[in-house]
């Protein structure tokens, strides 16, 4: 039985402008000790998925409208509040993006780490303190004993993220959710933190879900990767397979936009043109269609299912008509994403469409012009 099963999860936010479908039918599972990467642009529903797993969606305006989240045989969405609190920090722990703001500035490090120990493992003060020292040593904080009563501002960014990892590990959780754990850190520290996370997760056999917008971060970290777009999973594969043999044009776009050390230096970085769709009024067809250079008419009409790809590993699935052996589809099955970048006419169309979006276009033009010019234009 898998540790975590998410079935058809829908998380929505009710706003004045309409219902934002932040997560719209996400299904995946995770076995004990397995590591999974959730990858996608900002606003594609990665963090909301993670928060939904712990039922931390602010209510209102948020709401988990539909779905099942079965953790360790129990549906998290059907639990009462006390039971959910018993899971948070105890069985599922979370590491947040910005260690500068996710530690309470007025509490000492030891009190913050002890909190989970006292709450979930019912330790008393001195036991918790002892355990805190061990945890701090585990995450590589030098002279941990002396630093117990320091406040967060006395720690550097990387050290604070180590403290956050110590907090997450404190109760030996079965699952750790790491939401962009290195985004706020210096590049030099990022690798250390990622190594630490991976090694500790391996050592404790903790499953973790690593959420990031950076495919480079998940490359060496996770066994499987799920690529998300507009609140749904658009490609699922194990990590090596995804990098060697990506199938969905959105994944290609992500791969083209990150530099690689094992490629020729002259390789150009190609951004994905266009903007992520408005989650209030989604297009009826494939959600990536408006930005896709490989699109055909069928993409606009109906949304494809997440289905396995013919010439790939069996558990490799993609949500794309181009890779599915159905009538009218399948034109991308043999496409080499590195050579064929799709139709240039479509690319021009997409660029023009973006220029016509009123808010965004106006912003870019005014930002490029000196203030005096924009003022005259305004008059």
Partner 1 sequence: MAGLVVIVLAALVALLAPLIAPYDPTTVRDGTGRQAPTLADPVWGDPRYTDPRYPLGTDQIGRDILSRLVWGARVSMLVGFVPVALIFVIGATVGMVAGWYGGWVDQILMRVTDVIYAFPDLLFLIIIMATLRNTALGDLMGGLVLMFAAIAVVNWVGMARLVRGQVLSLREREFVEAARATGVPARRIMARHLFPNALAPVIVAVAFGIPSAMLGEATLSFIGIGVRPPTPTWGAMINEGFQVFSASPWPVMLPATCIGVVMLSFTFLGDGLRDAIDPRMKLG
287 is written with which tokens? 């959600």
Residue 128 binds partner 1, judged by CB under 8 A: no
DSSP string, 195-233: HHHHHHHHHHT-EEEEEES-HHHHHTT-SEEEEEETTEE
| The only residue of 31, 74, 104, 172 in contact with partner 1, by rule CB under 8 A | 104
Establish if 164 lies at the interface with partner 1 (CB under 8 A).
Answer: yes
Q: 65, 77, 119, 138: which one contacts partner 1 (CB under 8 A)?
A: 119
106 binds partner 1 (CB under 8 A): yes
Instruction: Report the C-alpha gap between 63 and 19 in whole angstroms.
Output: 10
Distance CA 219, CA 95 (A): 19
Nearest residue (CB) to partner 1, 103 versus 144: 103
- The partner residues of 70 in beta bridges, in order of sequence, read 5, 75
Q: Which of 30, 44, 94, 233 binds partner 1 (CB under 8 A)?
A: 94
Cα(47)–Cα(27) distance, integer angstroms: 15
Give the number of other Cβ atoms within 10 Å of residue 148's Cβ: 18
> What is the Cα–Cα distance from 47 to 62, expressed in whole angstroms?
13
Q: What's the min distance (Å) between Cβ of 312 and partner 1?
A: 36
Which residues are CB-contacts of 154 (< 8 A; sequence separation ≥ 6)?
147
Q: Is 45 helix (H, G, I), strand (E, B) or coil?
A: coil
Among 19, 107, 121, 133, binds partner 1 (CB under 8 A): 107
Answer for which of 16, 80, 105, 268 binds partner 1 (CB under 8 A) is 105
Select 54 or 254, whichever has its Cβ closest to partner 1.
Answer: 54
- Rule CB under 8 A: choose which of 89, 181, 249, 290 binds partner 1: 89
Q: Is 120 in the site for partner 1 (CB under 8 A)?
A: yes
Question: If binding is defined by CB under 8 A, does position 137 make contact with partner 1?
Answer: no
Number of residues that bind partner 1 (CB under 8 A): 27
Residue 363 has φ and ψ, to the nearest 5°, of -60, -45
| Footprint (CB under 8 A) of partner 1, residues 34-63 | 54, 56, 60
- Tokens, residue 9: 């999860």
Q: Tell me: does residue 160 bind partner 1 (CB under 8 A).
A: no
Contacts to partner 1 by CB under 8 A: 54, 56, 60, 85-90, 93-94, 96-98, 101-107, 115-116, 119-120, 164, 167
């Amino acid at each position: 039985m898998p540790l975590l099963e998410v079935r058809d999860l829908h998380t929505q936010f009710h706003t004045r402008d309409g219902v934002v479908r932040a997560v719209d039918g996400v299904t995946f599972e995770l076995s004990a000790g397995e590591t999974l990467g959730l990858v996608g642009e900002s606003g594609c529903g990665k963090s909301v998925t993670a928060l939904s797993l712990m039922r931390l969606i602010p209510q209102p305006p948020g709401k988990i409208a539909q779905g099942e989240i079965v953790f360790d045989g129990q549906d998290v969405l059907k639990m009462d509040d006390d039971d959910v609190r018993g899971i948070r920090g105890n069985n599922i722990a979370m590491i947040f993006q910005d260690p500068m703001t996710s530690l309470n500035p007025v509490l000492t490090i030891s009190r913050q780490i002890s909190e989970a120990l006292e709450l979930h493992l019912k330790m008393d003060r001195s036991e918790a303190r002892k355990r805190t020292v061990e945890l701090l040593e585990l995450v590589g904080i030098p002279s941990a004993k002396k630093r117990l009563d320091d406040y967060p501002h006395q720690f550097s960014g990387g050290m604070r993220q180590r403290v956050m990892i110590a907090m997450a590990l404190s109760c030996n959780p079965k699952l750790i959710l790491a939401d962009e754990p290195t985004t706020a850190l210096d590049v030099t520290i990022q690798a250390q933190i990622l190594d630490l996370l991976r090694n500790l997760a391996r050592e404790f056999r903790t499953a973790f879900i690593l959420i990031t917008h950076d495919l480079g971060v998940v490359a060496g970290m996770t066994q499987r990767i799920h690529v998300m777009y507009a609140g749904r999973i658009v490609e699922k594969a194990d990590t090596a397979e995804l990098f060697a043999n990506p199938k969905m044009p959105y994944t290609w776009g992500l791969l083209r936009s990150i530099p690689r050390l094992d490629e020729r230096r002259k390789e150009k970085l190609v951004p994905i043109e266009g903007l992520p769709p408005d989650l209030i009024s989604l297009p009826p067809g494939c959600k990536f269609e408006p930005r896709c250079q490989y699109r055909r008419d069928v993409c606009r009409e109906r949304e494809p299912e997440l289905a396995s790809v013919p010439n790939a590993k069996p558990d490799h699935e993609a949500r794309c008509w181009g890779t599915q052996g159905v009538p009218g589809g399948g034109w991308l099955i043999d496409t080499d994403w590195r050579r064929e970048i799709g139709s240039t006419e479509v690319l021009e169309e997409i660029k023009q469409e973006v220029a016509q979006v009123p808010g965004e276009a106006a912003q870019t033009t005014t930002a490029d012009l000196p203030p005096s010019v924009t003022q005259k234009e305004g008059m």
